[in-house]
């Protein structure tokens, strides 16, 4: 972990964020392992750092919930350093009373918050990631949307347009508007939605083999993932997807009027995980064991880390939130070896006890990180 990293968090200041009243931290270049009981604020710390990447909670919490109880607003400030020694400052603040969020990058406030996302190149690993495999499809769509929005500005624009069109179209369906009123919204829905479907499919197809290899390395499992589009939309180029999307809307038009809801499109698509055995492939969501599901979830995050690194040309900042929970020592050790071998970036790790970090003693491993203690929002570095 003494290898110079390409981008790292040098300093973090939190004011009235979650259970932190006012704390300023200076991070070692390699990172730190934060040890403390559940509820002490370990996950809140990683949440604050990743907030400066997407300006939303990675746990899905509303901004109002991030403000410390009794406070008027929260403020997060991070100073990040690149391999040349150049500092970059990112800040975010939110005031519930006015519902105003203010973001700055190097002292300047962007015209749109979306222009500021993705500066860190961070990846979060969490025990809650099992929901990416076993939970509702919305979580998997959100995973793809965040990942692709951070990596492709065009994707974020298409997603924002699509969501606006979808809201208008659903409102028209609820008001029993005539078909003629829907036509321009159908055209826009197909235009932006087909671009989203194509980008998601291309990403899944490009990383399917890496996912399979990571699953095999971690747990010895033969697992795959694939993109499933609603409305029988084929795996094709943009024009063919748009044509199929248009046809699907026509097929479900009567049902959409009955339910007053748009029934096909990327907002109803899914990412499917399968485990392959001798005779058949099983759906991990329905039939996977605990170990298989956790392996798939961690493999998915590792693929994300590889994607971030290839897109930015530098290692991602890894935020590991108690990822050894419920893992057997063999899997945990293999995960650490893989992280050491592939990701030379800064690592910020949380765990409830020291033994969760002391999984192996190899030189340069995560076990050599500086140890910090946390107790109810107070960090002892």
Retrieve residue 246's tokens. Answer: 């248009």
- Residue 110, token pair as written in the block: 């962007």
* pTM (two decimals): 0.91
Degrees, nearest 5: CA angle 135-35-216:
45
Hey, what are 290's tokens? 């605990």
Mean pLDDT by groups of 10 residues along the chain of 381 residues = 64 97 94 92 97 95 96 97 89 97 96 92 93 95 96 92 98 95 96 96 96 91 92 84 95 96 96 86 88 92 93 90 78 76 83 74 58 92 84
Q: Report the C-alpha dihedral over residues 94, 96, 97, 103, rounded to 10 degrees.
A: 20
pLDDT at position 26 is: 96
Partner residues linked to 148 by β-bridges = none
Domains (range + CATH), the chain: 1-121+317-381 (3.40.50.300), 130-315 (1.20.1050.90)
């Amino acid at each position: 972990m003494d290898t110079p990293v390409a981008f790292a968090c040098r300093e973090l200041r939190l004011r009235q964020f979650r259970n932190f009243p006012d704390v300023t931290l200076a991070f070692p270049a390699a990172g730190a392992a934060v040890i403390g009981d559940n509820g002490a604020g370990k996950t809140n710390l990683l949440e604050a750092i990743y907030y400066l990447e997407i300006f939303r909670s990675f746990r899905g919490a509303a901004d109002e919930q991030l403000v410390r109880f009794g406070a008027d607003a929260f403020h997060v400030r991070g100073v990040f350093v690149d391999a040349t020694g150049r500092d970059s400052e990112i800040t975010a603040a939110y005031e519930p009373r006015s519902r105003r969020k203010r973001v700055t990058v190097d002292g300047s406030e962007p015209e749109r918050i979306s222009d500021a996302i993705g500066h860190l190149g961070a990846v979060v690993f969490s025990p809650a990631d099992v929901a990416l495999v076993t939970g509702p499809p919305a979580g998997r769509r959100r995973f793809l949307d965040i990942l692709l929005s951070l990596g492709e500005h065009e994707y974020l624009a298409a997603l924002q347009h699509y969501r606006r069109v979808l809201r208008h179209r659903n409102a028209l369906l609820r008001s029993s508007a005539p078909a003629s009123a829907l036509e321009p919204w159908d055209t826009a829905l197909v235009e932006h939605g087909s671009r989203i479907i194509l980008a998601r499919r291309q990403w899944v197809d490009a990383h399917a083999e890496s996912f399979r290899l990571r699953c095999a390395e971690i747990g010895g499992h033969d697992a795959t993932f694939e993109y499933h589009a609603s409305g029988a939309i084929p795996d094709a180029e943009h024009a063919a997807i748009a044509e199929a999307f248009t046809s699907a809307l026509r097929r479900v038009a009567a049902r959409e009027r009955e339910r007053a809801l748009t029934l096909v499109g990327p907002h109803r698509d899914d990412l499917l995980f399968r485990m392959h055995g001798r005779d058949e492939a099983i759906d991990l969501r329905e039939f996977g064991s605990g170990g298989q599901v956790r392996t798939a979830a961690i493999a998915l995050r590792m693929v994300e880390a590889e994607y971030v690194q290839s897109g930015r040309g530098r290692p991602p900042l890894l935020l590991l939130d108690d990822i050894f929970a419920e893992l057997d020592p063999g899997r945990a050790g293999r995960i650490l070896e893989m992280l050491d071998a592939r990701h030379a970036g800064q690592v910020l790790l949380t765990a409830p006890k020291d033994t969760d970090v002391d999984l192996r003693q190899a030189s340069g491993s995560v076990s050599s990180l500086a140890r910090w203690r946390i107790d109810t929002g107070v960090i002892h570095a």
